[in-house]
């Protein structure tokens, strides 16, 4: 009897949402889980510490964080879970095996359908590495074809359409709703000789043709499309397209306009690790870019989306406890320190050598506060921060006018939320999903 029950639970993973619950159903979105297989950290030492210092992710804790998130999802039991890219630390074969063959199994066994899309870290990545104390060596990465095989049970095996020019695909969620997963990564441009991995994204012309064809086919069958993509479709803060352009797809204004024309009104994204929702009105239609933060970055969030007719109710939830960190406050504080110190390291590395260490450190600290606030979403800039930012920019101006000007703008815009709300929002959609 137990085997029969397990069989039917497994079968549920491959069935669309039934007609009985079509007008009211639940979906979860997690992103940028950056799983690092424990086998990659063969010996802790300066090599791994140096990597983490220049990063802003809780990589060592990544499996625990995902397991804690999955345990909560199994409890609330959404019908669908989306993972919007950057599944692994750096596309290591060992990490993909660990994720697809072990970590995601509880969702599959609970009858919850999981759909993934690659991020810029996941395929053909020369940064895949094994840490050996004070040294590191390259680890095996995977090809696009291998990615589709590893995630056969998590989207690619259930696809009713596949793009031959990318890892984009379509699956049927219920009688009236399909999911379009768009692969906008540039992994074919990664270079192993130069050890470079391209962060930016674009939608290939051929993939746009695939998207148009899928919109037409969905309309023919009386279906609407939800969309997920790793890279952002709409900028999430002023100047993002100037100073952090790789976090948006190339020609994002043109693409968002075309998405509006095609009726692709809701796109779930990741990449920047922030809880942020941006919208833009094109051709009389609203397009929403619902970006979800990372499970390895402050504030350790995930989203639940309740569909009820034409309403989409979005709520934010947080991972608050893992076995290796006993206290909730300790875990949150550790994630916050990673975020702020990571930004401080980036700022220090960018500033000219003539800038005194104390001034560079203060500039990094101030921008780290703005960055952490943006990651959490619904940020409201306090007056004390405005004063602090102005003071640091004045100090920095003595050594570099250019970077002082940039710090003032980015420090302000990162801390200034664009509408609508980021964490809890109800969207009235043109369609009943």
Please enumerate in sequence order all residues whose Cβ is within 8 A of that of 124, keeping only pairs 6 or more positions apart, or say none: 91, 141, 142, 143, 144, 187, 188, 190
Q: How much is the pLDDT for 321?
A: 93
Q: Each residue of 54-73: pLDDT tens digit?
A: 777 999 999 999 999 999 99
Q: How much is the pLDDT for 53?
A: 83
Provide the token pair at 293. 């933060």
CA distances from 92 to 182, 385, 421 (A): 22, 40, 36
Q: How much is the pLDDT for 9?
A: 41
**pLDDT confidence band for 36 (50 / 70 / 90):** very high
In which region does residue 304 sit, left (phi positive, over 0), alpha (psi from -120 to 50) or beta (all else)? beta
Residue pair 54/47 in contact by the 8 Å Cβ criterion: no
Looking at the predicted structure, is the pLDDT value of residue 21 above 60? no
Q: Each residue of 214-226: pLDDT tens digit?
A: 999 999 999 999 9
Query: What SS3 string covers the chain?
Result: CHHHHHHHHHHHCCCCCCHHHCCEEEEEEEECCCECCHHHEEECCHHHHHHHHCCCCCCCCHHHHHHHHHHHHHHHCCCEEEECCCCECCCEHHHHHHHHHHHCHHHHHCCCEEEECCCCCCCCCCCCEEEECCEEEECCECCHHHHHHHCHHHCCCCCCEECCCCCCEEEEEECCEEEEEECCECHHHCECCCCECCCCECCCHHHHHHHHHHHHHHHHCCCEEEEEECCECCCCCCCHHHHCHHHEECCHHHHHHHHHHHCCCEEEECCCCCCEEEEEEECCEEEEEEECCECCCCCCEEEEEEEECCEEEEEEEECCCECCECCHHHHHHHHHHHHHHHHHHHHHHHCCCCCCHHHHHHHHHHHHHHHHHHHHCCCCCCHHHHHHHHHHHHHHHCCCHHHHHHHHHHHHHHCCCCCCCCCCEEEECCCCC
Looking at the predicted structure, is the pLDDT value of residue 280 above 60? yes
Looking at the predicted structure, is the pLDDT value of residue 408 above 50? yes
Please enumerate in sequence order all residues whose Cβ is within 8 A of that of 59, keeping only pairs 6 or more positions apart, or say none: 34, 36, 51, 52, 89, 296
Looking at the predicted structure, is the pLDDT value of residue 231 above 60? yes
**pLDDT confidence band for 11 (50 / 70 / 90):** very low
Q: How much is the pLDDT for 310?
A: 92
**pLDDT confidence band for 2 (50 / 70 / 90):** very low
Looking at the predicted structure, is the pLDDT value of residue 98 above 60? yes
**pLDDT confidence band for 52 (50 / 70 / 90):** confident
Q: What is the mean pLDDT of residues 394-419?
A: 97
Q: What is the mean pLDDT of residues 99-121?
A: 98
Antiparallel, parallel or unpaired: β 129-132 and 135-138: antiparallel
- CATH architecture assigned to 2-321+421-428: 4-Layer Sandwich (3.60)
Please enumerate in sequence order all residues whose Cβ is within 8 A of that of 6, keeping only pairs 6 or more positions apart, or say none: 109
DSSP 3-state helix, strand, coil percentages of the chain (rounded to 5)? 40, 25, 35
Question: Which helix H or strand E contains 83, and what residues bound it?
Answer: strand 80-83
Looking at the predicted structure, is the pLDDT value of residue 187 above 50? yes
Residues in the chain: 433
Average pLDDT, the chain: 94
């Amino acid at each position: 009897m137990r085997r029969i029950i397990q069989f039917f639970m497994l079968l549920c993973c491959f069935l669309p949402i039934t007609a009985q619950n079509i007008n009211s159903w639940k979906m979860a979105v997690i992103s940028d889980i950056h799983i690092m297989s424990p086998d990659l950290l063969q010996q802790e030492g300066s090599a791994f510490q140096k990597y983490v210092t220049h990063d802003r992710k809780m990589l060592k804790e990544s499996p625990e964080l995902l397991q804690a998130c999955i345990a909560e999802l199994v409890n609330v039991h959404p019908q669908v879970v989306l993972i919007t890219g950057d599944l692994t630390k750096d596309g290591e074969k060992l990490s993909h095996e660990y994720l697809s063959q072990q970590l995601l199994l509880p969702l599959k066994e609970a009858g919850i359908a999981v759909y993934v899309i690659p991020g810029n870290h996941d395929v053909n990545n020369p940064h895949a590495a094994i840490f050996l104390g004070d040294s590191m060596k390259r680890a095996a990465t995977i090809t696009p074809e291998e990615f589709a095989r590893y995630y056969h049970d998590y989207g690619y095996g259930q696809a009713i359409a596949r793009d031959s020019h990318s890892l984009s695909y379509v699956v049927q969620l219920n009688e009236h709703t399909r999911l379009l997963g768009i692969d906008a990564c540039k992994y074919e441009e990664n270079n192993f000789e130069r050890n470079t991995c391209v962060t930016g994204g674009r939608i290939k012309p051929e993939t746009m043709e695939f998207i148009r064809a899928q919109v037409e086919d969905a309309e023919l069958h009386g279906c609407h499309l939800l969309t997920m993509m790793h890279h952002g479709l709409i900028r999430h803060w002023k100047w993002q397209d100037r100073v952090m352009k790789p976090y948006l797809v190339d020609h994002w204004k043109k693409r968002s306009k075309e998405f509006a024309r095609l009726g692709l009104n809701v796109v779930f994204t990741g990449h920047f690790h922030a809880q942020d929702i941006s919208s833009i009105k094109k051709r009389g239609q609203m397009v929403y870019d619902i970006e979800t933060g990372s499970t390895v970055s402050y504030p350790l969030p995930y989203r639940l989306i309740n569909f009820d007719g034409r309403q989409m109710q979005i709520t934010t939830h947080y991972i608050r406890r893992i076995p290796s960190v006993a206290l909730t406050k300790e875990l949150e504080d550790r994630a916050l320190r990673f975020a702020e110190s990571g930004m401080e390291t980036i700022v220090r590395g960018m500033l000219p050598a003539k800038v005194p260490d104390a001034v560079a450190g203060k500039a990094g600290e101030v921008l780290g506060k703005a960055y952490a606030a943006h990651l959490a979403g619904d940020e409201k800039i306090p007056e004390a921060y405005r004063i602090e930012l102005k003071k640091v920019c004045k100090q920095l101006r003595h050594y570099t006018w250019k970077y002082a000007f940039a710090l003032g703008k980015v420090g302000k815009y990162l801390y200034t939320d664009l509408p609508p709300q980021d964490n809890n929002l109800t969207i009235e959609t043109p369609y009943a999903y």
